[in-house]
Every structure is written in structure tokens, then in C-alpha cells.
Structure 1
Amino acid sequence: MRKLHFMWLAVVLPAGLLRAQPLTRDEAVRIALKNNLGIELAKNNAEAAAIYNSYGIAGGLPVVTGSISDQEQSTSIKQEYANPANNKSSNNAFSNNLSGQVNGYVLLYNGERVVTAKKRLGTQESQARQLLNSRALMLVNNVLLKYYDVVRQQSYARTLQASIDAQKQQLAIVQAQQSVGLANNADLFQSQVDLNTQIQNLQAQQLVIDQGKTDLLTLLTLNPDSVIAVEDTILIDKSIRLPDILGAVQTTNPDIIAANEQISINQYVEKETGAQRYPSLGANAGYNYSRTRNSAGFSLLNLNYGPYAAVTLNIPIFNGNIYRKQQQVAGLNIRNAALVRDTLLLNYTANAVKNFQAYTNNLQQVETAKANYELSQKLLDLVMKRFQLRQATIVDVKNAQQSFENAGFLLVNVSYAAKAAEIALRRYANQLTN
């Protein structure tokens, strides 16, 4: 199946279109991914990691600096020599010093610390993208669950409406029978009370639907009092296989991939820390300029300028074993990251198995619930015909209605439970599709 490319789903549905036609599940996913503030935050983090992924941040590019200074000062001078004729004395003598420098430094070797740092930055960028995918995956999961919950509640409302239609038919039959003296006021009043109760149940169900739509709008980061229409059915994919899901959990789940990348990041940190224990070799070159003018004193002008070059070798000898201890701690962080990954993988695998068990069990229940719903509908139709022929009582009709409503409630709930388990399995396997 085609995987969801979260980074490219940036089509937002105009507000007017929401009022003009039903909101589909794909449109709901697109709107959520476009508007969600958490996704924007994760995108910014991924972009920041991409910016940091450079040889300059890793310390592998030359560093060029420049400086300039112009200093004017007033100095009192008193100079005495062996020959008194050369003695000099001056008050408030002015001098000016103008100096400038351009310096370039490049690192030649430091125990491959730069190479390791660049690999770490690249892995951190990849990890940030995986965390973005994970956040988007969870958002899509939540949107789909709430979307199909609205579908579920509306399906049950249709069952209640069908029951109301039957109740209205019963009331009409009682009124017709009463007009010819075959029914009393008790039957009429009971039929009216039952109809009012059914209407009240439908009104209560409509509140559940409206609140479910409000929750969905909140997930889409839209105005909670917007008007949306959801017209859909719960279709369940029956082709899911547990081995495929478990294999995908280990290889494509963004949380597991990010956990594996954290192990790699910590390994790079350990290598970077260990590289500090090796000598580092660098080269620098530049150009110096210095000019000093004095209004009094032995030297009236001193001018120095010219290029320079040097090679610097730094050898760490002893620093209290700081680098060695930091490397030991980095090794512990590698093992901790591996433990976190193993724990996460175990939990995801267990949850995938549990959801697959729920998925298969609910698929079996769906078939039974469908057959039961069809039978209860036929039973209600039969009892209504018998009631019209005065071969069934109001109690018989009420029992048939209750059986029909219960069967409808069970059918939509097991269908939703199977769909929810399917969505969870797809999330663990990173297979939620658009």
C-alpha cells in the first residue's frame, strides 16, 4: 500500500467548501496536517536540524577573522641617557597606533572528530524528520479515529430513525383501529409515549454527533462551531497480516527508526569525545599591519607589515582524565539508548499483537452482527404486519424495536472497533494511507 508522505500533504480545504459538500477522510487528513500547530513546530525542528547539518558547524571549514584598531593617546615622556645631552622630557606628547590583521585557520587533523561530528549532524537531521513523521502519523491516527467515530454515531442515529419510522407506523395503525372501535385510549397513549421516547433518544444521539464533530474540528484546527457534513461508511480492510505488520514495525516505524538513530548519535558522540585525547594539527596564515607615530620620544615612526604562516600542534598530556571519563559516560549513553529502543520495540510489538487480536475478533463479530441486524430488521417488519392484523401486541412491537436498535448499536460498534484496530496496526507499521 502507498505510504503517506506527510511532508507533501499541504492542501487546505477552503472554509466555504466545507459547507458546500461532505468532508471526506482524505480532506480531513490534509486539513489537519496543514493546520496543526504541533506539526509546524516539528517542521521547524527538522528545518533547524537541516541547517545545522554542515561541515562549518562540525568544525571542518577554515575560519577567517579580521581586526583593526586605531588608538590615539597622550603621553608624558622623560628619558635619561648616559650622555645628558641626549636626555628628553615632554608633557602631553601625542602618539597614534594603527594596526590591522587578517588571520585564517584550518584544522588539518584532530582524530577524525570533524568527520564524526558531520555524521552525527546528518543523523540528527534524519532523526528530526522521523520525529516529524511520527507526530504526523499520530495526528492522522487521531483524525481518522474521530472521523470514523462520527460515522459510527451517525449510523446508529439512522437505526434510531428507522425505529421511529416503525413507531410512527404503529401509531397510525392504532389511530386507524381506534377510529373503528378496535383499539382503546390506553393503546393510543402508549404508542404516543413510545414515539416521544424514541424521538428523545434520537435527539440525545444528535448531541453525541454534534460533539463528535466539534472534537473533529478541534483536531483539524478549525473553528469549533463550523458546519461540516460527514457522509461515509466504515469499510474495513480484511487483508492485514500480522507478520507483515511486525516486520514493518521494526523497519519502517518512525519512532523505532528515531530510536535506532539515537544509538548512532550517541556512538558518534563517544567517538568525538575520544578524539579529544588525540593530538590536533592546524595551520594558520594571515597578514599583519602596524604603524605607530609619536610626536616625541626616541622613535617617531614605527611601521611593521607583512604576511605570516604557522603550523600548530596541540598534544593533550593530562587534564585530570576528563576526556576519558566523558568517553565512559558516552558509552553508557549508548547502552541506555539501546535499552530505550528495545523497550519501545517490545511495547510496539505487544500493542501490534493485541490490536491484531482485536482486529481479527471484531472482524468475526462484524459478520455475526450483520446477520443479526438483518434478522432483527425482518423481525420488526414481520411484527408490524402482525400488529396491523391484530395478531401481535404493542409489547411485541416494542420488543422487536428494542432488538432492532440493539442489533444496530452492536453492528456499528464492532465495525468501529475493527476499524480502530486496523488504524492502530497501520500506524505501528507506518502504513496509514492517504
Structure 2
Amino acid sequence: MSSNPNCRYSYAVVFSLFLLVISGNVTAQKLTKEEAVRLTLENNFGILVATNNIEVAKNNKNILNSGYLPSLTTNAGADYQSQTSNTGFQGAIDPNTGEPRPDIEIEDAETQRYNASLSLNYTLFDGLGRYYNYKRLKEQYNLTELQARETIENTILQLFTVYYEIARLSENVEILEETLRISRERVSRANYQFEYGQNTKLNVLNAQVDVANDSINLLNTKQQLINTKRDLNVILADDLEKGFEVDTIIKFIPKLILDGYLEEAAENNVTLLQNESNIRISEYDIKVSKSGYLPTVGLNGSYGWNENRNPPSAFFPGNVADTYTLSGGVSLTWNLFDGGGTITRVKNSKIALDNQEIAKAQITKEVERDIANAFGDYKNRLSVYKIQQQNVITNQNNFDRSQERFKLGQITSIEFRQAQINLISAETNLNGAKYDAKIAELQLLQLTGQLLNIEF
């Protein structure tokens, strides 16, 4: 086995390239932005839980949970009794025979009792407590929908943060593959020139080192890409090892449309809408608490049946008695003083409303700040993106000229490598700036309440 370090170094490079070829031959289906959103809405675990919470709130606001419907109850029962009795007359004389009257014994005398009833109760008036509680449940449903919307917005933003990271890494892989191809050509050229005495062994070794470094960078970037795809599959609730390609085309929203979104941000921001909903719930809480000051009027009615089956006794024959009862009435209950409980609940409800009003002022300021910061970040990143576009053009021209001069032997391999590194850096920075600007735009759209109303 050869102990030449250069030989071992070449084996490592060849093995790395082999891995790259194997991984690059796998074709994967393209995952569009629209398909990614659809899969997320259908399968994401957090969104599924939020959807179930909406169903619970929907059930709670149903008429069946409002207290407006009457209650109807039924009761039924049966009793059975068996007894043996002995009645003695203690020396009494039977007038017919003149003999002492004998004892009367009754064995296994059965007594049966049956009953059934149907009762109806309905609250005609409860101080408007159920009316405002019903409105409160409807508003709670609206709040739950807003909370679900917030969950969906956060999930969609998380989705595209990962999606565009995959896009960035995918484009970086292409850049590094092209870089590796150029470096390999440089190794071939250096070997050719060395064989004909036009170059030194040092130039060959430098070229091989650059190939190794480019191979390592490519391998690391590909591994990052694989890991990030797994992250996206978690969001999609899909198979972790499922392969796919993503769309790397970016479209920014026109400034005129974005300005319109900014003007309507206060009406559409989900955090502000939730706060408004909480204020309405607190207002209903006050009215529900005040219902304790008023009386309760109820309507009740019942229909019952009883049957008694009595056995014969020493003095009476057996009998069967059936009773049917129909009753109805109106009741009024007025808790003139409940120990101060109602007064305390009303006071606390008013304090809760005051807290919600204070929170509204705070949240409004915070949202205005967040929108201003997000808009500033977005404009800044767009500017950086445009600068990086020009920077790539400049570095591409510099690299093309350096490559021609290198082939003519007018610059050293170190100078050529520096031009190559500068181009790689410019291209990867451009990719980062492009997707950073798009993520900043999505964050701004979320704050303006428009994230779910756009085409991705």
C-alpha cells in the first residue's frame, strides 16, 4: 500500500466526489409553494389542534348550551314486598259458633307499588343572565377562530422560513457544484502543465487542496439541505425521509399594494382583533354578573302515575289503587341579598374590562412599533438584495477576466483562487439577501393581517 500522502489525499477527494455523484442522481418531485401550504393546512399538528378547538367553541355556542331550552326529566320506580302475618283475637268468641275465635294467618302476602312521572322546568326570566352569556359564548367562538388564525399564520411563516432556507441551500449547492467543477479543471490543467514542465508541483498541490476544500463545502451544504428538508417534513407532518425539490423563484409584492395593506393594518392585525374580542367578552361578563340583581321566574309542570297493589288483610280484602296527577306552576325567586357575591363579581368584571382597555393601548403601540420595524427591515433587506445583485455582476466579471488571465499565465493560482472565492461569497450572499427580503415581507404581511390573503 502506498504511503504517499498525496495519493491518500487524492483517494479522499475521489471518494467525496463519488458520494456527491450518488446523491445528485436521485431525482425528487417538486414541492410548489401552493402544495406546501395545502399540506400544512391539512396535516400540521398545531393547526389540527387549533381546528379542534374551534369545534369545541362551536359546540359551546350552540343553542343546546345556551340555557334557553327547557329541562325535561322522568322518574320511575317499582317496589315489591312479601310478608306473612298472624292475627290473634285473644279469647274472643265467634258469635256464630260460640267457640273461641281462631287466629288468622296470611302467608306470602304481596304488596306492589309502581310510579312514573314526567317533569318539565323552564326558566322564563333569569335577569338576562343567559342572554348575555349566550352572546359571550358566541364571542368566545370568534376569539377561538382568531386564535386559530394566529396559529395558522405563525405556522405558515414557519413553513416559508424553512422552505426558503431549503431554496437558499439548493442554490448554494449549485454554486458549489460549479465551483468544484472549475477547481477540478484547474487540477487537470495544473497536472498537464506540470508534465510538460510549464508548472511546479506546488501549483498542482494547491489546486488539489482547493478541490478538497470545495468538496467539503459541498458535502456540508448538502447535509444541511437534507437536515432542513427533514425540518420541513415535520411541519408538513410527512415522511421525514421524503425527498423533494423546492421552487426558487421569488416574487415581491408591488409597493402600491403593500402600502394599502399598511393602511388597513389596524383593522386586520390578528393580535388587535383578539384584544377587541376580549374587550367584548369582558363587557358581557359585567352584564352576566349584573343579572344577579334581578329575580328569576320559572315555569314547572309534571304528570305522574302511581299504582298500589295491596294484599288482603285480616279485616279488608285486597285492592288495586291507581292515581294520576297533573300539576303546574310558576315560581319567582329573588335573592335580595346574597352576602355581597353579586356586588363583588360586578366589581371584578369591571376591573377585568379596565385591564383589557389598558392592554389594548399597550398592544396598539406594540403593533405599530412592530409594523414600523418590520417595514424598515423589509426596505433595508430589499436594498441589500439590489446591492448584492450588482455585487455578483461585478465579481462575475472579475472572475471571468481572472480566469482568462490565469489560463494565459498572467496571474498566479492564488490570485485566481481569490477571485473564485469572492464570486462564491457574492453569489451565496445574494441568495441569502433574496430570501431574507422575502421572509421580511412575509413577516410584514403577517403584522398587517394579510398573510393568508396572498398568493404564494
TM interval, shorter chain, is 0.7 to 0.9
* Aligned partner of residue 246 in structure 2, secondary structure: coil
RMSD between aligned residues: 2.8
Task: Return closer, same or farther for 1:264/1:26 CA change in 2, 3 Å cut-off.
Answer: same
Task: Return closer, same or farther for 1:19/1:372 CA change in 2, 3 Å cut-off.
Answer: closer
* Aligned partner of residue 127 in structure 2, secondary structure: coil
Give the structure 2 partner of residue 63 of structure 1: 71
Residue number among 37, 46, 52 corresponding to 1:29 in the alignment: 37
Give the structure 2 partner of residue 42 of structure 1: 50
Residue number among 188, 197, 210 corresponding to 2:226 in the alignment: 210
Superposed displacement of residue 216, structure 1: 0.9
Stretches (4+) displaced over 6 A: 75-79, 89-92
Please say which of residues 247-256 and 271-280 is displaced more in the overlay. 247-256
Asked whether the 8 Å contact 2:78–2:113 carries over to 1, the reply is yes
TM-score scaled by length of structure 1: 0.86
Deviations 1:303-322 (A, max 9, x none): 43132221111111222111
2: distance between equivalents of 1:19 and 1:272?
63
Asked whether the 8 Å contact 1:174–1:188 carries over to 2, the reply is yes
Counterpart amino acid of residue 329 in structure 2: A
Asked whether the 8 Å contact 2:28–2:243 carries over to 1, the reply is no
Give the structure 2 partner of residue 307 of structure 1: 326
Residue number among 389, 401, 409 corresponding to 1:390 in the alignment: 409
Give the structure 2 partner of residue 272 of structure 1: 288
Give the structure 1 partner of residue 6 of structure 2: none
2: distance between equivalents of 1:206 and 1:40?
32
1: distance between equivalents of 2:85 and 2:321?
17
Give the structure 2 partner of residue 124 of structure 1: 140
Asked whether the 8 Å contact 2:29–2:243 carries over to 1, the reply is no
Between structure 1 and structure 2, the one with the greater Rg is 2
Task: Return closer, same or farther for 1:427/1:313 CA change in 2, 3 Å cut-off.
Answer: same
Superposed displacement of residue 22, structure 1: 0.8
Deviations 1:138-181 (A, max 9, x none): 11110111000111112222222333333234334433433442
2: distance between equivalents of 1:101 and 1:280?
25
Counting only pairs closer than 5 Å after superposition, residues 39-118 of structure 1 correspond to structure 2 as: 39-73=47-81, 94-118=110-134
Superposed displacement of residue 75, structure 1: 7.2
Do residues 224 (structure 1) and 240 (structure 2) align? Answer: yes
Give the structure 2 partner of residue 9 of structure 1: none
Superposed displacement of residue 29, structure 1: 1.3
Asked whether the 8 Å contact 1:249–1:256 carries over to 2, the reply is no
Counting only pairs closer than 5 Å after superposition, residues 144-293 of structure 1 correspond to structure 2 as: 144-239=160-255, 244-293=260-309
Give the structure 2 partner of residue 15 of structure 1: none
Task: Return closer, same or farther for 1:46/1:206 CA change in 2, 3 Å cut-off.
Answer: same
Deviations 1:345-383 (A, max 9, x none): 433332222121111011111111100111101110100
Asked whether the 8 Å contact 1:242–1:353 carries over to 2, the reply is no
Task: Return closer, same or farther for 1:20/1:196 CA change in 2, 3 Å cut-off.
Answer: closer
Asked whether the 8 Å contact 1:245–1:352 carries over to 2, the reply is no
Superposed displacement of residue 231, structure 1: 4.0
2: distance between equivalents of 1:37 and 1:130?
18
2: distance between equivalents of 1:242 and 1:274?
46
* Aligned partner of residue 283 in structure 1, secondary structure: strand
Asked whether the 8 Å contact 1:148–1:234 carries over to 2, the reply is no
Residue number among 409, 416, 430 corresponding to 1:411 in the alignment: 430
Superposed displacement of residue 281, structure 1: 1.0
1: distance between equivalents of 2:120 and 2:32?
60
Deviations 1:160-217 (A, max 9, x none): 2333333234334433433442212111221221122112211111111111111111
Give the structure 2 partner of residue 5 of structure 1: none
2: distance between equivalents of 1:388 and 1:259?
68
Asked whether the 8 Å contact 1:259–1:341 carries over to 2, the reply is yes
Give the structure 1 partner of residue 156 of structure 2: 140
Give the structure 2 partner of residue 362 of structure 1: 381
* Aligned partner of residue 131 in structure 1, secondary structure: helix
2: distance between equivalents of 1:369 and 1:189?
33
Higher RCO (CA-CA < 8 Å; seq separation 6+): 1
Asked whether the 8 Å contact 1:246–1:349 carries over to 2, the reply is no
Please say which of residues 175-184 and 188-197 is displaced more in the overlay. 175-184
In structure 1, stretches of 5+ residues that fail to align are: 1-17
* Aligned partner of residue 31 in structure 2, secondary structure: coil
* Aligned partner of residue 130 in structure 1, secondary structure: helix
Superposed displacement of residue 236, structure 1: 3.0
Deviations 1:258-283 (A, max 9, x none): 23212212221221121122111121
Give the structure 2 partner of residue 13 of structure 1: none
Asked whether the 8 Å contact 2:33–2:247 carries over to 1, the reply is no
Please say which of residues 313-322 and 52-61 is displaced more in the overlay. 52-61
Deviations 1:86-133 (A, max 9, x none): xxx998864333222112122211121222122111111222222221
* Percent of residue pairs identical: 22
TM-score scaled by length of structure 2: 0.82
Superposed displacement of residue 74, structure 1: 5.3
Superposed displacement of residue 341, structure 1: 4.0
